[in-house]
Structure 1
């Protein structure tokens, strides 16, 4: 028969309550006693029930990743970064993806938290900036970590990159290649990072003495199809751009597909750059020059902050990755 907590207590010569404290990694257990209990569990092949742990410690042993899904590669990176750390902590990761267009966004997320009773949450944009959600989590005493917040930056722990600085560096790189008419595809308007990346593009133009042209800026939604639509508009201009910088790899891939459809040689006739350095950036042809946002590492750090109870605000480095999709301005 499968060993139970009573068997462990008898083998270790301690109370059931002491075994429970060891299982839940509580303090106030002497090191020698803890070692004896752990040896008994190993000898008996005892595996604590998660339900029993939750009942004993008043915990659910679940955390939530609350996210929109602007691109499957981004979400895959987040989950990949969180899964290992959650497994090491004996905690289940529950992913709640939501539609950003709904008017009931905040209420939907709040209902999800109240129903499930999570031990903690990791929030991505735009819910990371939703004040009622943050208020409710704090009221309930539920710890959270925000990824890439855009408002109230001193509120709670967070992990982010310098989106404005990274977009500025990419735009300057295109300018250094001789480009002056540089199209820009803005990300989803509900995400603070979209504005930050647009600011980086505009600031680089201004710093380099390049006149900005509103006709070269097109709205996207962080997905492939919106990148296609933006490229069709930009390439239909009488004086079309010689380079297009899309603020996500999914949108940049959409731009690339339109360039191929129009028989434009990339990068000889049109340079294309993206943002994120998801797996997609190296799967398309030619490979995308892009800004590497360390998505997986950011998720790992967010989990570390959540489990440690840290209130740190971490800014991780971004990196410009050069591939074959960018080159000098056409003669």
Structure 2
């Protein structure tokens, strides 16, 4: 049986070129203060042996780790995975982040951290010490957790804060939640709706409040009332059922509802059907997220498409190319889009006041 070919390592290159491991690492990383003749000598060995640099070899110089760490909320992520209900936030994170990392010869590492843990600094510190990332990407609610942002700033590790506009260290980045909510509301107003409900997310997420602001701004600009038309859920299906019932039990219920994620919108759709309401004839629905599940409902759901992959790609780009530099135009905004499907239509019998 043929023997497996032994993998070529940095040690083989060093021995072949007759130089130290550190010298090979400096050549691989294209660092200064390496004589041209030495570069050519090491490169000749690399070419002759067919050596492909590994992250371990690249890290030997100590200047960079070639790793970007993305952190997501442990409790909510695990709940989403276990429910198997079609959420694809993590998929889109990795799609945008990993592909951009690969363009620059980097790797993305994905970790879950409990933002409510009193020992979050110790937990994060252990992860940072083990991986020594060149940059960190924080997602809500980590983005505005002062224990996390303060720790990273103290460690002088460049980081991006997705879904955050608060002042402070790190690169603030948003997906224009306020603008997306405003455009979704304007779409419904253009269809003739006057009573438009809003099911927002929990207060711990700043983006929940931004979406309320966008909805309220569009309603106010059109001279429409918002009193009693906004309620909150916690992004779960069950909370969406409760919020929808609260809105539909109003003396003058809404003819349209914008919900802050797909699970709560699915709940609104099912609740409307159970109450004998037809969507979109009796109740129009717009969702946030645009995960795959919204294309398999009846009717298919109109949704705000969150530019998650594009935002993470931009975050990686900024961390790699702009590391410690200050991004002047903050927050860095990546706008979403409204994907119109079959769940929105003019209200039955014209606008209801």
TM range (shorter): 0.7 to 0.9
Q: Is the 8 A contact 1:73 1:280 kept in 2?
A: no
What is the root-mean-square deviation in Å for CA atoms of aligned residues? 2.7
By how many angstroms is 1:33 displaced?
A: 5.3
- After superposition, residues 128-167 of structure 1 pair within 5 angstroms as 128-152=143-167, 155-167=169-181
State the match for 1:322 in structure 2: 340
Alpha-carbon contact 1:118-1:142 (below 8 Å) kept: no
Tell me, yes or no, if structure 1 residue 168 matches structure 2 residue 182.
Answer: yes
Cα 1:170–1:39 change in 2 (3 A) is farther
- Alpha-carbon offset, residue 162 of structure 1: 2.2
Asked if the contact 1:63/1:118 (under 8 Å) is kept, the reply is no
Could you say if the C-alpha distance between residues 104 and 17 of structure 1 is closer, same or farther in structure 2, counting changes exceeding 3 Å?
A: closer
- Deviating above 6 A after TM superposition, structure 1's stretches of 4 or more consecutive aligned residues are none
After superposition, where does 1:279-318 map in structure 2 within 5 Å? 279-308=292-321, 309=323, 310-312=325-327, 313=330, 314-318=332-336
What is aligned with 1:212? 226
Q: Give the match for residue 132 of structure 2.
A: 118
Residue 13 of structure 1, CA deviation:
6.3
**Number of positions where the alignment pairs a residue of Structure 1 with one of Structure 2:** 328
Cα displacement string for residues 57-80 of structure 1 (whole angstroms, at most 9, x for unaligned residues): 265543321122476322221122
In the alignment, what sits opposite 1:37? Answer: 42
| Whole-angstrom CA distance in 2 between matches of 1:39 and 1:85 | 29
With 26-35 and 315-324 compared, the bigger mean Cα shift is at: 26-35
Q: Distance in 1 between matches of 2:23 and 2:117?
A: 49
Q: Does 1:66 align with 2:84?
A: no
Report SS of the residue matched to 1:63.
strand
CA distance in 2: counterparts of 1:99 and 1:16, whole angstroms: 39
Alignment partners' CA distance in 1, 2:189 and 2:36: 62
1:233 Cα offset (Å): 2.4
Provide the secondary structure at the position in 1 that maps to 2:299: coil
The residue aligned with 1:271 is 284
Query: How many Å separate the matches in 1 of 2:261 and 2:110?
Result: 22
C-alpha contact 2:10 2:57 (8 A) present in aligned 1: no
Contact in 1 for aligned 2:152/2:158 (Cα 8 Å): yes
Task: Say which SS state the counterpart of residue 57 (structure 1) adopts.
Answer: coil
Contact persistence 1:228–1:251 (CA under 8 A): yes
Deviation of 1:298 (Å) = 0.6
Q: C-alpha separation between the residues in 1 aligned to 2:19 and 2:122?
A: 46
CA contact (8 A) 2:137 2:162 kept: yes
2:260 paired residue number:
247
Q: Does 1:17 align with 2:30?
A: no
Distance 2:94 2:209 in 1: 25
Unpaired runs of 5+ in structure 2? 1-5, 81-86
Structure 1 unaligned segments of length 5 or more: list them: none
TM-score normalised by structure 1 residue count: 0.87
Q: What is the aligned partner in structure 1 of residue 83 from structure 2?
A: none
Aligned pair in 2 of structure 1 residues 25, 287: CA closer, same or farther (>3 Å)?
farther
Q: Give the distance between the partners of 1:228 and 1:42, measured in 2 at CA.
A: 63
